Every structure is written in structure tokens, then in C-alpha cells.
């Protein structure tokens, strides 16, 4: 009868409360997930409500919020008009810079926006062309659909039109890593690599380049001096689930915004 | 082997030397296999074992502090194994019973069933992930949850269970069936009381093999069950299995602490696999002896 | 399957011919229903994958999709470089891994003293059970940097790294199945060869391996299936650039990596294109199993 018992257990598990009373589901951008996980933990500790954060990517987050798979979607790029529908609204919860980052051993500390753009187009191929060692540049990029990549392409003019569609102009020979972390790992371990990551996740394992002589800092972004920045957006239904609403209220509160700032992002309130 | 064909006619090497050479090649190949095995296992264990501690195993994973325990991943892994087995084991075992004890051999239906289970075994696991993410997560609206993951994995391990159980059932001597029927027992009674008990070691092996598969899979798991680092309250919650955890850790390797975590998690996984392999052996031996 | 068929037919004939009671019918039905779950699963997956993938073929055209060299969603969907990467990484792994595996199988079945074989065999089984992510991790920290130093190239995340990791991963599959099929040979094969004055090694290469060929081929086919279907280990070591690799010292993206990397992001026709990638992957598996069937059947006659 073991199998019967097994089956009954399965049925029992399935009919267990389908949705937990206090659960908030959040999914989307891996960059936003970094700060969202910290926000969620703080919220859980105070409000005793379960928050699930999935770093699945901006496009997936936008889709999940629209079709209801998640209560809250996260995006690290501006949401295209055709991606929004009438039932959903967007809320900017923070701003974040994108840092072009190189290995600590790399003597290059400053590049112009045009140089970075050319490196990513595959037109500049050697560090010696931008004042570094005579070694080939290992270009590292994020995957298609990543909010960080989308914002980076938009700001750095790395888009072109093919067959009437806007597509990437980043060289296809660039290495592709999924997630901020993988880019960080590659750049931190390879002295000839260049990558771009969320400024909030830059730490002393790599160096954020100055762009056009402007250092990549929160202050310079807030002052509008450092141009490569994008909003962190959450997407919710117009009539959000009460649990989702109270979590968003927490994020926008002074406590929530302090956490945002502590984690290295720019508060919006 | 081409060298060998030449030897039939004329060759620079005497037959004796060729034998020595080939013998050497065999030993060398075995040496390479063992070397790689030891290298992989030693590299992981030597870097990881010292960072496995009670706090690491039973601690919570948090983003606020430095704590990085894997208890939530262990619980998620256990849930995932149990739930996917709860779906796949009864179905797989009963399919095997049908195929060996009931079905008319060579019938169209049996051929279709066999073809389908073999195809199921041939589908790359990423396609299961693709399917599970669209079908269970979105279409059925189960969301990123242990349930979505377990259903996907249940399909993935079904062929393993069917095939291994079938072999075990076929190895049961015909005299058991003959004896059962001769004593006037019904078919289902014979299966239940005579055939299944003697096929038990094989069935247990199939379950352990599938447990290994469930523990080892990564892509189809995080595409369906997500990767939340908390203990799931119910099967509708998302969870992160140990293998997915290791994958996520390898994406964030900067500080020594993060390297240590990755090695320690890999160590736990290897120890688990080792334990499962040992369990298969022990159970098979014990049941063989007792029967 | 021959023995299986025989056993089943006997089992059926042996079944008591008494009037079936309700319990018997119920269980017969229950078992049959369970057996249909496998059929249902395959049909659902198949229907879903094709249903979702076909729009991409329609939109891009089958030839353009399969032979196109540029992957630029949402404008161009060409997966030829990924097909090439999948084939090269698998072929490379087979070229390195299969000879080693077959010789190790011979070692375990014929050469090694019993105590040594009893030690090595469980070790090989352990190798089979290690999750692929662990292999990927090993590749990332050992093989990738080694390639950087050895070939003096800026980045070791290359096709070659993928080939080596896959070669290690297919070893246990091929070894276990080849060893079983060599052991399953009747001892008269070897005895006959030895009686005719052949040396032990000669009898292995001239008699045993050819005789066990269909089993070894099955093992190789399973190894190939594992290599071509592997995802996470490959993502971790191969660089994933969607461009056509110029050599094995350049990064490349396999079909499986393409699905895993972009699945979460894809919408609309892009997502269809990933399903279509899955269809191409399935086509490879079918082709593989088909040629295995063909090769083994030819031998049987």
C-alpha cells in the first residue's frame, strides 16, 4: 500500500493552502533583485510576511506582472510603451548607474563614451588603442533582454536597425554572461576584460571606469554629470494585491529608501 | 585500432611489442579516468570540507548579514525529491507492471508506450525546463513553485523508474508466477505478494537513481521552481535546490567567503551523491541476502 | 528486448483464465492508465514545443533559421553558429572521451585484477552521479584558467573548455555501458581466440570489442546525447558568444545554452525562436537514435 500512501501524500500536499496568506511574489531584473532581496528580508523581519524574490530578468518580470504570475514585476530599464497595458502601472523605486568596469590590474582608468561604444561595437580591439597594454580586449556583455544591457545600449548608442527592428550593435563575438554576478566574476578574474554592471554592485574586486573624466559615483549621477544611469522600476496591477501594496509602501517609506541608499543605489524620495 | 589492422600484414612492431603497447594504452586510459575523477573530487573536497560546519548546514541564508547557511536549500531539495518521487514512482512502477505483467507483447499499444517512454528519456533536460516554464508555471498558473518543479522533474525521471523497475520485474523467475497461479491466487495478489517483493531491490534502486537525477538537475529546476533562498512553507512556494544554489554561487565569486561557500556547497553535493551510491549498494545487498 | 517479450508472453499465457473479477479489471485499468501517462507526457511536450516553435519557423523561414549566421532578436534569428558549436563541442568530447572510456571499460572487464576493478567501478559510478554544475564549477576554476595560460589567450572561456568538460562528463556513461556489454559476451569468444593462439590483448581488440560493438555503440550514443543536451556546465565555461567560432579557442554558444540564457527574457516571436531551437535540438536527438538503430540493426543481420 506504500504507493497508495505516496499518492495520498501527493494529493494532500497539493491541496495544502494554495496561496500563503501573507506571501508577496516579486520577479524580474537581476539588478533590481539585488536590492529587492535586502528590502524583502527587512520587510519580512518587521511585517512577518513572506516575500519571494526571483531574479529572472527585466523582460520576464514585466511579463510576469502583466499576466499575474507575480504580483510585482521588476525592471532595470525604461518600459517600452507596447509592453505596458492599461491594468499595470510603474513605480520608480530607485535610480542606479551602470559602471563600465575593468580588472584591478588594468592601468586604464578613464575612457570616453565614444571609446566604450567602439569597444562594444568591436571597432577598438586592443587595450593599446586606449592607452593600455598591447593585449586584446575581452568584451563581456549581458544577455539579450537584460535591463542593464537594454539601458546600456540605449545610452551608449549601441543600437542599429535591421529589417525594421531595433537590434543590438554589440559585437556578437563578445562573451555573454547571465547576471551581474557572472560579469563581475569574469572581469574580476580576467585582467583584459571589460564589462558593465549595476553601479550598486561594484565593490573592491574590480574598478569602475570614469567616463569622459567623470567618476561613476552616486553624487555625480544625482547631479546628472555621470550619464550612464537608469531607473529601477516596479510594475504592479492598478489595483494591487493588498500584500503587494503594503510591501511597496515599505519600499517607498523612509526606512525602505534608506536601505536603497545603504546598498549603494540612489533614493528617489 | 587502425594500428592493429595493419599488424595482420606487415608492421614495424612485432606482435609482442604491439601487445605491450596496447596493454599500456589500456592502463593509461584507465589511469586518465581515475586521475580525472580523483582530481575533480579532491579539488572540491580539499577546498570545501573545511568550510562545511554545523552552522553552514543548518543556518539560514540571508542577504542582510554575513550568514550563508544552506538549510533552506537542503529543505527545498528534500521537498523536490519527495514530491517528484510521489508523482513519478507510483506511475512509473505501475507502468512497468503493466508492461511486464499485463500487456500483450508486441501489440501496437505496447510499442507506442515503449516508444514514448524511450523518447521521454531522450529529451534534453533543458527542453523540460522550457516546457515546464511555459506549461506549469504560466499556462497552469502554478507560478515558480516547488510543485511546478516537481511536476517537471517527475516527467524527467519517469523513464528512469520505468526502465529500472521493468528490468527488476523481468528478473523475477517465472516459477514465482507459476507457483502463485498454481495455488489459485489471483493475478493482482500474485503481483502484490510474490513478484513485487522479490523485485523490491530493483525498485528501490530505481528510486535512488531518480533521487540522484532530481538532486543533480539545475536548468529545468530554476526555470520552474525559481531560486528563492527561503524555506518553502508550502509546495506553492518557490525554493532553491542545492544544485541551483551552487550555480547561483558560481556566478558571484569575488570574496574568499563566496568561494568558500561555493566549494562547501559542492562538497555537500558530492557527499550526497556518494551516500546515494552507497545506499544503492547496501540496500541491494541486504535485500538480496534476505530473500 | 527479446527476453522481455518472451517473459511477457509467458506471463500472459500463465494468467488464470477464470472469470475476471472487478478487482482484477480495476487494477488492469489502473496500470494501463499509468502506462498512458508516459504517452501523454511525450505528446504534451511534443505538441507544446512544436506549437510554440512553429511560428518562429514561419516568421523566419526554416532555411533562414537553421542556416542564418546572425542571432539578433527581434530582427534576425539565425542559429547556424549554435548548431556548429553544439556539433563541434560534442564531436570533440566524443573524440577525446570515447577512446579513453572504451579502453577503461576493457580495463575493468578484462585487465584489472578483481580488487582493483571493484575499487574503480564504484568510483566511475560516482563520477556519473556528480551534478553537471559541479563539473562546470571545476571547469571554471581549473580548465578555463589552464587554457588561458597554456595557449596564452586573453579568455579561456572557449569551445575547448567546453569540449574538455564534456569529455569528462561522458566518460562514466560510455564506460558503464561498454563494460556491461563486454562482460555480457559468452566466454567462448575469448576462449576460442585464446585457444587459437591469440594473445589476451589481441583477443580483446580483435574479438571482444567487435563482438560487443552494438553495446558500445549504445553507450557512445547515450554519451553523445548527454553531451549535446548538457546546459549549465557549458554556460559556465564556454563564453556563450552567439557568433560563429573561428577556432576552438574562441567562445561559442550551444543550442542548449541559447535556450537557457534567453528563456527568461524572451517574449513573442523571440520566445517562439527558443522553442524552435528546442525543436532543432530534438531533431538531433532523433537523428542520433535513428542512426544508432540503423547501425545496430545492420549488425544484427
Model ipTM value: 0.84
Question: Is A177 in contact with C75 (Cβ distance < 8 A)?
Answer: no
Closest by alpha carbon to B148, among C37, C49, A241, A18?
A: A18
For residue B175, the distance in angstroms to the closest alpha carbon of chain A comes to 24
Instruction: CATH number of the domain at B80, please.
Output: 1.10.3720.10
pLDDT at C18 over 60: no
Say if residues B148 and B137 touch (Cβ distance below 8 Å): yes
pLDDT at A92 over 80: yes
**Helix pair C255-262, C268-300: axis angle to 10 deg:** 150
**Helix pair B242-250, B196-216: axis angle to 10 deg:** 20
pLDDT of residue C1: 40
pLDDT of residue A193: 93
Domain annotation covers residue B137: yes
pLDDT of residue A18: 43
Sign of CA pseudo-dihedral B266, B267, B270, B271: negative
User: pLDDT tens digits for A54-65?
Assistant: 887 787 788 888
Three-class DSSP category at A75: strand
For residue B173, the distance in angstroms to the closest alpha carbon of chain C comes to 9
**Domain boundaries, position B152:** 62-290
How far, in Å, CA of B57 to CA of B59, rounded?
6
Question: Is B63 in contact with A55 (Cβ distance < 8 A)?
Answer: no
Domain annotation covers residue B15: no
Q: Does C73 touch chain A (CB under 8 A)?
A: yes
Size of interface A-B (CB pairs under 8 A): 94
Nearest chain A Cα to B239, which residue? A52
Residue A201: CB atoms within 10 Å: 23
Mean pLDDT of C21-48: 90
Beta carbons within 8 Å of B78's beta carbon, 6+ residues apart: none
Quote the percentage of chain C above a pLDDT of 90.
Answer: 41
| Better pLDDT: C198 or B7 | C198
Q: Does C267 touch chain A (CB under 8 A)?
A: yes
C148 contacts in chain A (CB < 8 Å): 190
pTM for the model stands at 0.85
Determine how β-strand A88-102 pairs with β-strand A193-198: antiparallel
Q: Does C198 touch chain A (CB under 8 A)?
A: no
Query: Can you list the alpha helix ranges (DSSP code H) found in chain C?
Result: 2-14, 22-60, 62-67, 80-106, 114-129, 132-138, 144-151, 159-183, 187-195, 200-203, 209-211, 213-229, 232-237, 255-262, 268-300
pLDDT at B62 over 90: no
C9 contacts in chain B (CB < 8 Å): 105
- CATH code 3.40.570.10 for C79-296: no
Domain annotation covers residue B16: no
How far, in Å, CA of A147 to CA of A31, rounded?
8
Residue B230: CB atoms within 10 Å: 23
Domain annotation covers residue B25: no
pLDDT of residue A34: 83
Mean pLDDT of B132-159: 90
Domain annotation covers residue B172: yes
pLDDT at B3 over 80: no
Please count the structural domains in chain B. 1
- In angstroms, what is the C-alpha Rg of chain B? 24
Amino acid at each position: 500500500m506504500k504507493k497508495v500512501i505516496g499518492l495520498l501524500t501527493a494529493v494532500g500536499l497539493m491541496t495544502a493552502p494554495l496561496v500563503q496568506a501573507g506571501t508577496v511574489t516579486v520577479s524580474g531584473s537581476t539588478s533590481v533583485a539585488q536590492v529587492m532581496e535586502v528590502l524583502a528580508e527587512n520587510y519580512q523581519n518587521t511585517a512577518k510576511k513572506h516575500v519571494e524574490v526571483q531574479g529572472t530578468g527585466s523582460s520576464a518580470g514585466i511579463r510576469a506582472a502583466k499576466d499575474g504570475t507575480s504580483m510585482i514585476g521588476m525592471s532595470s530599464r525604461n518600459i517600452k510603451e507596447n509592453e505596458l497595458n492599461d491594468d499595470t502601472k510603474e513605480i520608480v523605486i530607485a535610480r542606479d548607474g551602470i559602471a563600465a568596469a575593468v580588472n584591478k590590474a588594468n592601468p586604464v582608468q578613464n575612457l570616453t563614451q565614444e571609446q566604450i561604444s567602439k569597444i562594444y561595437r568591436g571597432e577598438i580591439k586592443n587595450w593599446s588603442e586606449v592607452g593600455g597594454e598591447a593585449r586584446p580586449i575581452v568584451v563581456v556583455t549581458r544577455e539579450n533582454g537584460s535591463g542593464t544591457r537594454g539601458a546600456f545600449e540605449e545610452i551608449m548608442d549601441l543600437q542599429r536597425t535591421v529589417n525594421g527592428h531595433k537590434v543590438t550593435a554589440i559585437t556578437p563575438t563578445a562573451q555573454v554572461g547571465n547576471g551581474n554576478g557572472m560579469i563581475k566574476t569574469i572581469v574580476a578574474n580576467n585582467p583584459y576584460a571589460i564589462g558593465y554592471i549595476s553601479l550598486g554592485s561594484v565593490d573592491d574586486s574590480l574598478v569602475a571606469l570614469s567616463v569622459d573624466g567623470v567618476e561613476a559615483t552616486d553624487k555625480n549621477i544625482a547631479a546628472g554629470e555621470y550619464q550612464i544611469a537608469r531607473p529601477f522600476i516596479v510594475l504592479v496591477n492598478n489595483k494591487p494585491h493588498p500584500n503587494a501594496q503594503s510591501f511597496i509602501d515599505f519600499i517607498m517609506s523612509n526606512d525602505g529608501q534608506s536601505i536603497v541608499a545603504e546598498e549603494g543605489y540612489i533614493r528617489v524620495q | 585500432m587502425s594500428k592493429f589492422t595493419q599488424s595482420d600484414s606487415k608492421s614495424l612492431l612485432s606482435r609482442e611489442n604491439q601487445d605491450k603497447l596496447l596493454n599500456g594504452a589500456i592502463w593509461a586510459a584507465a589511469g586518465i579516468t581515475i586521475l580525472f575523477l580523483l582530481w575533480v573530487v579532491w579539488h572540491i573536497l580539499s577546498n570545501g570540507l573545511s568550510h562545511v560546519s554545523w552552522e553552514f548546514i543548518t543556518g539560514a541564508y540571508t542577504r542582510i548579514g554575513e550568514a550563508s547557511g544552506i538549510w533552506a536549500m537542503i529543505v527545498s531539495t528534500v521537498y523536490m525529491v519527495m514530491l517528484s518521487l510521489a508523482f513519478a514512482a507510483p506511475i512509473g512502477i505501475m507502468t512497468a507492471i503493466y508492461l511486464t505483467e499485463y500487456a500483450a507483447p508486441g501489440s501496437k499499444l505496447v510499442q507506442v508506450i515503449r516508444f514514448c517512454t524511450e523518447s521521454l528519456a531522450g529529451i534534453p533536460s533543458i527542453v523540460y525546463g522550457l516546457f515546464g516554464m511555459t506549461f506549469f508555471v504560466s499556462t497552469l498558473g502554478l507560478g515558480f513553485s516547488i510543485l511546478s518543479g516537481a511536476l517537471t522533474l517527475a516527467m524527467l525521471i519517469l523513464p528512469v523508474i520505468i526502465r529500472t523497475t521493468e528490468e527488476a520485474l523481468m528478473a523475477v523467475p517465472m516459477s514465482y508466477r507459476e507457483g502463485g497461479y498454481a495455488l489459485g491466487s489471483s493475478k493482482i495478489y500474485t503481483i502484490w505478494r510474490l513478484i513485487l517483493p522479490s523485485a523490491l531491490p530493483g525498485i528501490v534502486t530505481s528510486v535512488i537513481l531518480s533521487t540522484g537525477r532530481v538532486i543533480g538537475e539545475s536548468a529545468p529546476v530554476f526555470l520552474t521552481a525559481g531560486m528563492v533562498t527561503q524555506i518553502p512553507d508550502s509546495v506553492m512556494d518557490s525554493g532553491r535546490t542545492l544544485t541551483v544554489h551552487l550555480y547561483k554561487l558560481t556566478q558571484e565569486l569575488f570574496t574568499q567567503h563566496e568561494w568558500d561557500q561555493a566549494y562547501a556547497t559542492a562538497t555537500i553535493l558530492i557527499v550526497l551523491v556518494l551516500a546515494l551510491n552507497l545506499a544503492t549498494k547496501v540496500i541491494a545487498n541486504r535485500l538480496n541476502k534476505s530473500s | 528486448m527479446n527476453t522481455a517479450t518472451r517473459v511477457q508472453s509467458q506471463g500472459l499465457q500463465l494468467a488464470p483464465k477464470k472469470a475476471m473479477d472487478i478487482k482484477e479489471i480495476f487494477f488492469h485499468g489502473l496500470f494501463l492508465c499509468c502506462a498512458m501517462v508516459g504517452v501523454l507526457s511525450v505528446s504534451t511536450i511534443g505538441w507544446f514545443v512544436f506549437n510554440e516553435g512553429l511560428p518562429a519557423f514561419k516568421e523566419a523561414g526554416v532555411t533562414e533559421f537553421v542556416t542564418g549566421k546572425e542571432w539578433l532578436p527581434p530582427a534576425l534569428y539565425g542559429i547556424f553558429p549554435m548548431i556548429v558549436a553544439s556539433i563541434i563541442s560534442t564531436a570533440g568530447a566524443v573524440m577525446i572521451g570515447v577512446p579513453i572510456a572504451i579502453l577503461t571499460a576493457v580495463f575493468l572487464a578484462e585487465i584489472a585484477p578483481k580488487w582493483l576493478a571493484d575499487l574503480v567501478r564504484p568510483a566511475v559510478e560516482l563520477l556519473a552521479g556528480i551534478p553537471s554544475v559541479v563539473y562546470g564549477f571545476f571547469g571554471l576554476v581549473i580548465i578555463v584558467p589552464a587554457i588561458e595560460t597554456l595557449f596564452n589567450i586573453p579568455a579561456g572561456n572557449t569551445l575547448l573548455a567546453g569540449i574538455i568538460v564534456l569529455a569528462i562528463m561522458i566518460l562514466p556513461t560510455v564506460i558503464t555501458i561498454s563494460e556491461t556489454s563486454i562482460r555480457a559476451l559468452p566466454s567462448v569468444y575469448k576462449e576460442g581466440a585464446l585457444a587459437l593462439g591469440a594473445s589476451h590483448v589481441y583477443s580483446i581488440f580483435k574479438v571482444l570489442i567487435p563482438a560487443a560493438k552494438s553495446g558500445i555503440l549504445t553507450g557512445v550514443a547515450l554519451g553523445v546525447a548527454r553531451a549535446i543536451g548538457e546546459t549549465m556546465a557549458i554556460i559556465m565555461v564556454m563564453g556563450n558568444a552567439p557568433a560563429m567560432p573561428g577556432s576552438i579557442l574562441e567562445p561559442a554558444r550551444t543550442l542548449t545554452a541559447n535556450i537557457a540564457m534567453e528563456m527568461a527574457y524572451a517574449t513573442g516571436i523571440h520566445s517562439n525562436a527558443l522553442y524552435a531551437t528546442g525543436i532543432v535540438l530534438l531533431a538531433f536527438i532523433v537523428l542520433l537514435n535513428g542512426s544508432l538503430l540503423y547501425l545496430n540493426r545492420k549488425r544484427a543481420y
